Amino acid sequence: MFMLAAVFCFNIITIGVGMQLSILLMVLLAMSSMAYYFGKKRALRAGNGHAKNLHSLPSFYGLYTAIWCGIPALIIFGLWVVFEPAIITHLVISGLPDDIRNISSDRLNLVINDIKNLVSGNITSVNVDDNLQAAADHYQQLMSTSHAALVVVVLCLAIIAGAIALSRIKAQHRARNAVEGMLTGFLIFCSSIAILTTLGIVLSVLFESVRFFQDVPVSDFLFGLEWSPQTAIRDDQVGSSGAFGAVPLFAGTMLISLIAMLIAVPIGLMSAIYLSEYSSQRFRSIAKPLLEMLAGVPTVVYGFFAVLVVAPVIRDMGGIIGLDVASESALAAGLVMGIMIIPFVSSLSDDVINAVPQAMRDGAYGLGATQAETIRKVIFPAALPGIVGGVLLAASRAIGETMIVVMAAGLSANLTANPLEAVTTVTVQIVTLLTGDQEFDSTKTLAAFALGLMLFVVTLMLNIIALHVVRKYREQYD
């Protein structure tokens, strides 16, 4: 519903008669409020002026009438506004002279745009001739007819539905159940948006990927060693045949994520252990929020930090010991990403370490173990599943992280394990392929969706494994 709402809000504006339609919405709202009032009044009358004679509270009868008056009309209104432009455009096209109608669809789109511009008084791309003017008039006429029809239909529907609802009100009418039923429907709808979102992601990514794999075989994409997505614009162009072997991207992503995990896991884990086992309550209450601030810093800030501070430092240090470090080295991006992930590892580990029952600690102390031995030999093994789960979640975060690598990692696909060289990642390529101004169905843009599919599948698998591990072993000692 909120998608529909958004679409029709947008269409209100594009139609350019937002005023009229918003007035219609207001009228609808006013009618609903009146319906509420009448519903309540009628219910009271049905109960001889006493609410105790009614099945439900009077306000439920009011709500019942108001919902019936408002919601069906609103749904029709939404559908109308969503589908109106397409239908009108179709009608205008069929009214155009044959010679214009038979041109290619791209140019037809231009003509339609010109007509729309003419209607809204903008500048058109061609000189206005009689045909165009006639089409524009036609468009405008259809538009006003449609709006008049919309107003009539919506208002009639509101009145009729409201009147029917009103006529149903009797003393024994179960208005509360009806209203609550509708409310439950709304709640269920809101909950299923999560499913719709997942479905939307899967379908949109899958759909474009299938189109991509029609051009490029799956095996080439998954196992090809060369990535250069520059497809030739002209047929005779040299050296830009376009290679879509994603292995260098996977390798680059793995390399940077690995560096990040090498930074984040030891630091995050040790700080979690220290904070939960050693530190005083006061130190913990200061240090824990400070560490968690690292997670709240936007990733674009980390990207800027990597470019401005970390990469030059690493390059200079490499220069001192005689190493040739690329200015967009994997090390810089990985290091900064590691800093970003520290709080994920530390707070997840903190939770599981705190969940280990005190009795286990006491038991170990009773046997004469030192605190460090207790932690290493008793608490750590007990918390290990949770820690592994947390690390896997952090890894999926690292793989999907975008802004840091877009700003600090390279663009050219380099199949190397040397952290001092520039590598590129899956997310970097998605951004570079999709932020340009190319047509949407070129192999290049479709490749981005194929990469997105890989990203989604891999992170999803990591998450499922992580959640499974965490859930399976979490309450082992309770």
Which residues in the 306-325 window bind other proteins by CB under 8 A?
307-309
**C-beta separation of 275 from 287 below 8 A:** yes
CB count, 10 Å around CB of 85? Answer: 15
Residues 416-445 that bind other proteins (CB under 8 A): 427, 430-431, 434-435, 440
With a CB cutoff of 8 Å and minimum separation 6, the contacts of 375 are 273, 277
CB of 278 to other proteins, least distance (A): 6
Nearer to other proteins, 100 or 460 (CB): 460
With a CB cutoff of 8 Å and minimum separation 6, the contacts of 96 are 111, 131, 135
* Distance of alpha carbon 434 from alpha carbon 439, whole angstroms: 10
CB of 371 to other proteins, least distance (A): 6
Residues 381-420 that bind other proteins (CB under 8 A): 393, 396-397, 399-403, 406-407
**C-beta separation of 70 from 31 below 8 A:** yes
Q: Does 194 bind other proteins (CB under 8 A)?
A: yes
Residues 212-231 that bind other proteins (CB under 8 A): none
With a CB cutoff of 8 Å and minimum separation 6, the contacts of 83 are none
Residues 139-168 that bind other proteins (CB under 8 A): none
Residues 358-377 that bind other proteins (CB under 8 A): 368, 370-373, 375-376
Nearer to other proteins, 139 or 449 (CB): 449
Pick the binder of other proteins from 170, 459, 465, 473 (CB under 8 A): 459
Q: Does 287 bind other proteins (CB under 8 A)?
A: yes
CB of 128 to other proteins, least distance (A): 24
Q: Does 208 bind other proteins (CB under 8 A)?
A: yes
CB of 160 to other proteins, least distance (A): 28
Helices (H), 47-129: 58-95, 98-101, 105-120
Binding mask 96-135 for other proteins (x = CB under 8 A): ----------------------------------------
**C-beta separation of 419 from 260 below 8 A:** no
* Distance of alpha carbon 264 from alpha carbon 280, whole angstroms: 23
Using CB under 8 A, which of the segments 7-15, 34-42, 90-98, 140-148 binds other proteins?
7-15
Q: Does 207 bind other proteins (CB under 8 A)?
A: yes
* Distance of alpha carbon 29 from alpha carbon 324, whole angstroms: 69
Using CB under 8 A, which of the segments 142-150, 191-199, 252-260, 325-333 binds other proteins?
191-199
Nearer to other proteins, 163 or 258 (CB): 258
Residues 247-266 that bind other proteins (CB under 8 A): 266
Helix (H) or strand (E) holding 244: strand 243-244
Q: Does 305 bind other proteins (CB under 8 A)?
A: yes
Residues 263-282 that bind other proteins (CB under 8 A): 266-271, 273-275, 278-279
DSSP state, residue 149: H
* Distance of alpha carbon 5 from alpha carbon 386, whole angstroms: 42
Q: Does 448 bind other proteins (CB under 8 A)?
A: yes
Helix (H) or strand (E) holding 180: helix 175-215
**C-beta separation of 155 from 72 below 8 A:** no
